[in-house]
Amino acid sequence: MRIEDVLNNPEAEKELLDRNGKKKERVTPEQHRQYVQDRLIEACGKLDLESIERQYQRAVSAVKELTVVPQAQDISDFCARNVALRPRILGIFASALVNAVRELEEPITLEIVKGVSLDYFGYRLNRKVTVKGSLGDNTAYMMEDGKLVVEGDCKGVVGPFMRGGTINVRGTIRDVGAVRHGGTITSSRNLQDYYKFSNTHDLLRVIVEANVFQDVAAAIRQGGTIPLESEMKRALHPQLVTLACNNNLQIYERERSSYRSGLADFERQYNELLRQWNTIYPKYQKAKKDAIGTGAINGAMLLTPFAPFTLFFGMITLFTGLDSISLKAKIREIEPKIKSLENSMGQYRDKVNFYDSKISEVREFMRAH
């Protein structure tokens, strides 16, 4: 709202009369600025610390009900004047002003003085804005379109849940956002991690807040492996992707270790049975051969004068036969056990190979990231 607009505004004239006791022939620049600031304070006063989206919608409604049309300098002055406001309220309200006051010419230039902290500035941003100064946390939260240039630093996360547009920070960025669905973020300095993601609970918190990757959330809650989707690489913070991969590696390596241990036990049993087989089978073959040979000799002796010796050799045949039968029984007991162990070892080897393959897939996914 320009000064001449204030002169023709009945509400403004009445307020100035109430303040000064008489009608002013000319509204001074200071009176004009004060009037605009009062209106902005009145609108901002309708906000409280409810959910971010609800707070933003209330801010937009309050801005649309304004009886003034603030300029970019008015918004800058408002931010500087109200440093006592909570950074989130100040940032959300400034975002609503930028998005809802369509009379503002783009690019909109805001001068944010040192000491002012604006969190969530650029919430649902869809216009071209240049900020001369620094911003707080959650800059350009859910940015939709347009371009945001920050000539200072961003003290917290930048571009979380961003859907489109471009962010260019010419100072420092501490984090590029846990989840981003589109758009680009560039900085003239090295990026540093702000959040220290340390476990899958951090990953669960992020995807629940973003309402994305519901299958991943379900897998985390159930304590199982996490589906590794290519979309995760673009949308999630790299450290979160690494957490998901490490979660799967731990599960696969634990399962593989279990099957390897089982396979080693089977191999020990198999080798022991094989040792017994290699010991017993030659004895069985020899006992069987001896029994057949002794039986043939006894049969021949029945036809000779040496028949009295038949009894002696018959006893030998009996014992040899019994030894052969005993050894054969042991062989019959060992054989199915060996076959069963061979089958079990085959199954366990398949499981070990399966987990080897899954571990390779995860590591390849991480390398490609």
- Check whether 318 has a pLDDT greater than 50: no
pLDDT at residue 261 in the model = 96
13 burial type by CB count under 10 A (0-12 exposed, 13-18 middle, 19+ buried): middle
Q: Are strands 184-187 and 154-157 parallel, antiparallel or unpaired?
A: unpaired
| pLDDT tens digits, 174-194 | 777 778 888 888 887 666 656
User: DSSP for 224-278?
Assistant: -PPP--HHHHHHB-HHHHHHHHHHHHHHHHHHHHHHHHHHHHHHHHHHHHHHHHH
Show Cβ contacts of residue 309 under 8 Å, excluding neighbours closer than 6 positions.
Answer: 301
Average pLDDT over residues 288-307: 52
Which range is least confidently modeled, 105-114, 286-295, 322-331?
A: 286-295
> How remote is the C-alpha of 228 from its chain's centroid?
9
Termini Cα distance of the chain: 51
SS3 329: helix
- With tokens 């090295």, the residue in question is 190
- Check whether 24 has a pLDDT greater than 60: no
Q: What whole-number distance in Å separates Cα of residue 360 and Cα of residue 334?
A: 39
CB of 314 closer than 8 Å to CB of 236: no
- Check whether 288 has a pLDDT greater than 80: no
Average pLDDT over residues 68-95: 87
Average pLDDT over residues 186-215: 79
**Of 58, 74, 52, the residue nearest 1 (C-alpha):** 74
Averaging pLDDT over each range in 125-129, 180-184, 233-237, which range is the top one?
Answer: 125-129
> How would residue 5 be classed by pLDDT, with cut points 50, 70 and 90?
low
What 8-state DSSP symbol labels residue 189?
Answer: S
pLDDT at residue 314 in the model = 46
- With tokens 């036990």, the residue in question is 265
Q: Is the pTM of this model over 0.75?
A: no
- Check whether 121 has a pLDDT greater than 70: yes
pLDDT at residue 283 in the model = 74
CB of 74 closer than 8 Å to CB of 36: yes
**Residues present in the chain in total:** 369
Which range is least confidently modeled, 115-129, 257-271, 276-290, 300-314?
A: 300-314
> How would residue 310 be classed by pLDDT, with cut points 50, 70 and 90?
very low
- Check whether 249 has a pLDDT greater than 60: yes
Task: Between 45 and 322, name the one with better pLDDT.
Answer: 45
- Check whether 135 has a pLDDT greater than 60: yes
Helix (H) or strand (E) holding 109: strand 108-111
CB of 195 closer than 8 Å to CB of 202: yes
b/e map 141-153, b = 16+ CB within 10 Å = bbbbebbbbbbbb
> How would residue 15 be classed by pLDDT, with cut points 50, 70 and 90?
low
pLDDT at residue 48 in the model = 67
Q: What is the mean pLDDT of the chain?
A: 81
Task: Between 261 and 174, name the one with better pLDDT.
Answer: 261
Beta strand spans in 225-351 (E): none
- Check whether 322 has a pLDDT greater than 60: no
SS3 153: coil
Residue 309 is encoded by which pair of tokens?
């010796």
- Check whether 89 has a pLDDT greater than 90: no
User: DSSP for 275-288?
Assistant: HHHHHHHHHHHHHH
Show Cβ contacts of residue 244 under 8 Å, excluding neighbours closer than 6 positions.
Answer: 200, 203, 216, 226, 228, 232, 236
Positive or negative CA dihedral for 210, 211, 213, 214? Answer: positive
- Check whether 306 has a pLDDT greater than 90: no
